[in-house]
Chains A and B, each alone.
Chain A
Amino acid sequence: MTDRKYRVLVAKPGLDGHDRGAKVVAAALRDAGFEVIYTGLHQTPEQIVSTAVQEDVDVVALSILSGAHMTLFPKVLDLLEEEGLDDVLVTGGGIIPEDDIEKLEQRGVGKLFGPGTDTSEAVDYIRTWCEEHRGDGAGRE
């Protein structure tokens, strides 16, 4: 009976100055039926996590082009855990070397997508994750 909608936070941390990629992903997720909370540029990890708490999202998707991924992703993970939100998927995209992707995945980050990836691949990944981890129509308590 419940009309459960998956909620995704699309955020752009760091100092680099354009969010075209993030906007494309946000629009693709909306078109796939997700409720997307879009926050714009230059978000700090603290702001991202505070938003994730208030918006009660299932997924945090970060677009990072600045090269600061090795600090930003772990920071977001740690802050989420502090808030008791360690069941939220953290995923994202950007220019991230293979080695780093491996390290981040070991640290608990979900799949990461390179600049050339088809957005539908990321959308499918997020949908599959939600269905497996959140179920359909299931409550979250």
Chain B
Amino acid sequence: MNGVGGGREERGPEPGEEPPAGLLEEFGRGRQRALARAISMVEDETPGFEALLDAVHERVGRARRIGITGPPGAGKSTLTKELARSYRQEGLRVGVIAVDPTSPFSGGALLGDRVRMTELASDRGLFIRSMASRGSLGGLATSTREAADLMDAFGLERVLLETVGVGQSELEIARTADTTAVVLVPESGDGIQAMKAGLNEIADLFVVNKADRPGADRLRKELEIMQRIRGGRDEEIDWEVPVLQTVASEAEGVGELLERLDAHFGRLRESGALEARRTDVRVEQARSVLLRRLERAADSQWEERRDEIRRRLASGEASPYAVAAEMEAAFRREMAAGGDPARS
């Protein structure tokens, strides 16, 4: 666990909390069950999960992460399956994380991306995990990144992240990938709508899928024109954002997509931007983990005093601002005294 050359500090993130030893050992032996449980710990924020992530951190960094994002029904899962199949044919071990929304009404989720991937379902070199967006403390992007880190540390060499490209958190997930492909279809509207949704900011490649349907050529041309107007270039790595066409359900155009994904990654690596950008992601991760820890600590104090706070607010004796300021002061005092407000 010595960060040779990395100068990593030896302090675990959760004083008094160790990662489950049996799980770490199984994880190290490459048992899928251990990876699956580890991801559940991250999703559930089971005590010890940050210590677990810390323990495997030195093994993170070998996988290439590819984001596949776009509107529902665009063919993301179908395309993901085709990419996974091709990488498997090259002998690479592949992880897939497919994120679908949690129902705001019930808190439940129906995760159906595997339906498209059935034919790959018993391949031992492929690990597919469906994740619900939930309402996690650190945000969806943080826990998705952590699940990807676990797959990476486990030894999977390609990690494909399928997300629905609507809303801020999904866009944030895309930022954690090395390369992001934005998948659009003729039915999903025109190029201008894609721009409005912010998809052009995260796209390293555009894929016009369902090219067998009318309107695909028009959408491709629109996107190309928008790229020219909006400067669809990544200057730092000298990359012009390409617009590709695929028929995912027939595996058409997948070869070219794979080539372009490789080309983009090649540019990242040769220009030195890969390391810099991955460091940016780690910096952002550290920040969001800190915020999550603080929020968790504050929340547990809050829960303890909830009834009292409610009484005081009901009687009008204090304002929400006074209560919050008072809670913060108490929180700081406890931290300064060396206590751990998260552990009550």
Name A's B-contacting residues (CB within 8 A).
Answer: 1-5, 7, 26-27, 29-40, 42-44, 46-47, 50-51, 53-56, 83-85, 137, 139-141
Interface centre among A51, A53, A141 (most CB of B within 10 A): A141
Q: Contact check: which of A37, A50, A53 meets B111 at CB < 8 Å?
A: A37
Question: Chain B contacts of A39 at CB under 8 A?
Answer: 114-115, 118, 121
Write the chain A residue with the least CB distance to B46.
A139
Write the chain A residue with the least CB distance to B43.
A5
Count of A-B contacts with CB under 8 A?
115
Q: Are B103 and A31 within 8 A (Cβ)?
A: yes
Interface centre among B47, B107, B121, B296 (most CB of A within 10 A): B121
Q: Is B41 interfacial (CB-CB < 8 Å)? A: yes
Provide a sorted-by-A list of 13 A–B residue pairs whose CB atoms are within 8 angstroms: A4-B46, A5-B43, A7-B40, A30-B103, A31-B105, A38-B114, A42-B118, A54-B129, A55-B130, A56-B33, A56-B40, A84-B33, A140-B46
Name B's A-contacting residues (CB within 8 A).
Answer: 20, 22-23, 32-33, 35-37, 39-41, 43-48, 102-103, 105-112, 114-115, 118, 121-122, 124, 127-130, 132, 134-136, 296, 299-300
Contact of A55 with B44 at beta-carbon distance under 8 Å, contacts A83-B33, A141-B23 already known: no
Q: A31-B105, A39-B115, A140-B37 are in contact. List 18 more A-B contacts (CB 8 A).
A: A1-B300, A2-B46, A5-B132, A5-B134, A30-B106, A30-B110, A31-B106, A32-B106, A35-B108, A35-B130, A38-B110, A38-B114, A40-B118, A43-B121, A47-B118, A54-B128, A137-B44, A140-B46
Interface of B is mostly: mixed
Q: Are A3 and B112 within 8 A (Cβ)?
A: no
When chains A and B are docked, how far (Å) is the Cα of A32 from the Cα of B22?
Answer: 33
When chains A and B are docked, how far (Å) is the Cα of A27 from the Cα of B134?
Answer: 17
